[in-house]
Amino acid sequence: MKKTLAIVLAVLLIVTSFVSCNKKAATTTTATAAPAEVKPVLGSEPVKLIFWHSGAENDGVAIDNLVKKFNETNQYQITVEPVFQGQYADSLAVMMSMSAAGNYEELPDIMQIATGGISGFYDCEKAFSVDDAIAYFGEDIKSNYLTGALGTWVYKGEQMALPFATSTTITYYNKDLLKKAGWDHCPDTFADIIKLAADMKKAGITATVYQDVPTTSTIAPWLGQLGSYVMNGKNGTEEDGIKLECIDNGAMKTFLTEWKAMSDAGALVSGSPQKNDFYAGNVALITGTNSGVTDFIDKIGGKFELGTSTFFRVNDKASYGATPQGSALCMFDHDSDVRKAAVWEFIKFLTNAESQAEFGAATGYTPAAVGATDLPIYQEYLATHPQQAIVSEQLAKTPADMRGCSPHSVINADFYFGIQNAVKDFLSKGLSVDEGVKLVNDTLQPLLDQVALLVD
Amino acid sequence: MMTRRQKRITEDVIVSVIAIVLGLIIIFPIIYAVLGAFKTSHEFLNPKLLPNSFKYLKNFQDALRKGNLIRYSVNSFVIALIGTTVRLVFSILAAYAFAYYDWKGKQICFFLVLGTMMIPGDILLITNYITVSRMHILNTYLACMITSFVSGSQMFMLRQRFMSIPKDMREAAQIDGYGDLYYIARILVPISKPVLTTLFVQSFINIWNAYLWPLIVTAGKANMRTIMVGITKLNSWESENYELVLAGVCISLIPSLILFIIMRRNMRKGGMEGALVG
């Protein structure tokens, strides 16, 4: 806790000194005139690249394996050194420290970044966006990736990074418990959860039906299903998010109405989902990232049959889907043609269909490259992890313009906890829906006002 | 009516019980970590405190392999040992100057030293990073330890200790023809050994446990990481394998425990001397 607090404080300090040196306001060093030919330069001399990643445990092993494969097979004398940089927040703090210090030569060539760090990366003067690279190399590779996964990494209209470890929020359910209650399928909407609660009660099942509280990751798709964004600029991906959009258009009111109905019916326990309770068979439904499937299977250990389904819909009028999330790869410009070309080769390697299928099969992440799921290695993985099959269905159903919520990194942590606390207080204090909407607005809008002041 | 002896025994029993309970509360997280490190992931979900077997060592093997903890432990050990030693040398010399010399501006200097204790370390993160970067020592042991070379709190504590030693001893040494360095090395340090031992252990553990600073200054070289960064590597966002993290924590505790066991007698004396000085 102390360590997390220290990191958050450090990030805030760095960001406040850093935000003034906006990349776009500063001189644009990238994406200028494309060199006539880059390929011949590449391979003429050895190039060493530094790759910062946050892949812990199995993810780290899978990343090391991919890097090793690249080092052994590339034809251009490129050697990549993967360096673990701690968790995403740590990595971002390090990157921002270096940028704030103007110590650009210490920045990596490639960095793994989570959604919370995209605005920090955008502000870095040495950011080399995917759009920059496409203009520089004249090679548009965007069609190689799933549109939804690519859209997560757009910031202020610019493709900043390429999806690498992609995941989406799905529903996990205890098939055995639901069978006892007479259900052979997972609830689809909040109203279905209420019906399931009633049936579980009738069947004498005392387990918790559903325990959850919305976070930045889940509120964005729930409001997105209702055709709304949490905040302006498509949830802050097209422009800085400085105004809550979901208040005026009534989407937050609709969401809170359905959420309260679940709570009032005894179908919802308001609080963060407790995976351990689910593993132990004490909770019937839980939402979580699909990349955790292997962990779910291991921890349940055959105690009950695990089912997966698409992310709950708010009501039967809502569309299906949840935004792809996870992490992406971003590039830095070190003012060297050969190094830039080497980075481009490496990032294409890590995100191509073969690498994505291999990484997905090793870690549980969903390949974001088109065609990767059809490759034998991923098909074999799906055969042993059938719960992952739902992900493709969900991604196909997710509207193309649905976006994850990307508050500015200055307020990212406060926003994340702000939503949770406001919705929890709304239920625990027995407020009306209108009062709940006001509480959400009063909690989150002041945070966005801080961003407005900063960008001014 | 209780006799004096009965009263003393009763008091002893009450104090002992309170001390044991407090001791258990303090040591329980460590016991939990050790027991948890021997559990399988299924056992970990079970509220039972004891693992099924103490022969289950896979978590330790995985922690060493996935976290690269052997290499990182060596890095941390080098950084903590040299950092602590240099810090103590500087602190002894500075404390000696504050305790035994009189010069113009001494009070201001002393308050400046005390002032450094009031600045949170995180505030200095960027300025320290810029300094170290301009010295061109990033990704080296020196970068990790340089900010720990000077400690205001250690200077202050040693100054207080030195001031409690009669000045006559220094004068006697001077009459015998010994200079300051001889007096420090042969007289002051040996009689301050308990305090120095306590400061050494405390400082070693602080540097050993450092996370953010080593993370920043070794960002460009994978094999320069410290053990705390290695433990973070065991904590995945998707799979919460606490038993693996606990195994890593147990491994990281070993040097501190060995140091504590070796030096505990001196540390106890240090605590008692501190009490008398106070």
Contacts 24+ apart (CB under 8 A), B8-17: none
CB of B66 less than 8 A from some CB of A: yes
How far does Cα B268 stand from its chain's mean position? 16
CB of B225 less than 8 A from some CB of A: yes
- Of B215, B235, B225, the C-alpha closest to A94 is B215
| pTM, entire model | 0.78
What does each of the 278 residues of chain B score in pLDDT, given as a tens digit? 678 888 899 999 999 999 999 999 999 999 999 999 999 887 887 778 899 889 899 999 999 988 889 999 999 999 999 999 999 999 999 999 999 998 899 999 999 998 988 888 778 888 898 899 889 999 999 999 999 999 999 999 999 999 988 888 888 888 888 889 999 999 899 989 889 999 999 999 999 999 989 998 998 888 899 999 999 888 876 667 888 999 999 999 998 889 888 888 777 665 555 444 43
Are B211 and A84 a contacting pair at CB < 8 A? no
Q: Identify the residue whose tokens are 């450094």.
A: B116
Q: Identify the residue whose tokens are 């830039």.
A: A340
Ramachandran angles phi, psi of A126, nearest 5°: -100, 10
d(CA A107, CA A127): 10
Are A87 and B232 a contacting pair at CB < 8 A? yes
pLDDT of B275 reads 43
Q: Is the dihedral of CA A310, A314, A317, A322 positive or negative?
A: negative
Are B220 and A108 a contacting pair at CB < 8 A? yes
Mean pLDDT of A104-123: 88
Strand ranges in A89-244 using DSSP code E only, listed in sequence order: 110-114, 127-128, 154-155, 158-159, 162-174, 208-212
Nearest CA in chain B to A81: B222
CB of B241 less than 8 A from some CB of A: yes
d(CA A430, CA A441): 17
Q: What is the DSSP letter of A185?
A: S
User: Does ipTM top 0.90?
Assistant: no
Please compute Rg for chain B using Cα positions.
23
Q: Which helix (H) or strand (E) holds A100?
A: helix A88-100
Are B129 and A97 a contacting pair at CB < 8 A? yes
In sequence order, what DSSP letters do the residues of B131-199 get, joined into one string?
HHHHTT-TTSHHHHHGGGS--HHHHHHHHHHHHTS-HHHHHHHHHTT--HHHHIIIIIHHHTHHHHHHH
Are B222 and A81 a contacting pair at CB < 8 A? yes
Residue A233 gets the label, from left (phi > 0), alpha (psi -120 to 50) or beta, of left
Q: Which helix (H) or strand (E) holds A217?
A: helix A216-225
Nearest CA in chain A to B223: A83
Q: What is the pLDDT of residues A282-326, one digit of tens each?
A: 999 999 989 888 888 888 888 999 999 999 999 999 998 898 888
The mean of the pLDDT values for chain A is 87
CA distances from B145 to A185, B88, B113, B138 (A): 58, 13, 19, 11
In sequence order, what DSSP letters do the residues of A290-357 get, joined into one string?
GGGHHHHHHHHTTSS-EEEEPPPBSSTTSPP---EEEEEEEEE--S-HHHHHHHHHHHHHHHSHHHHH
CB of B136 less than 8 A from some CB of A: no
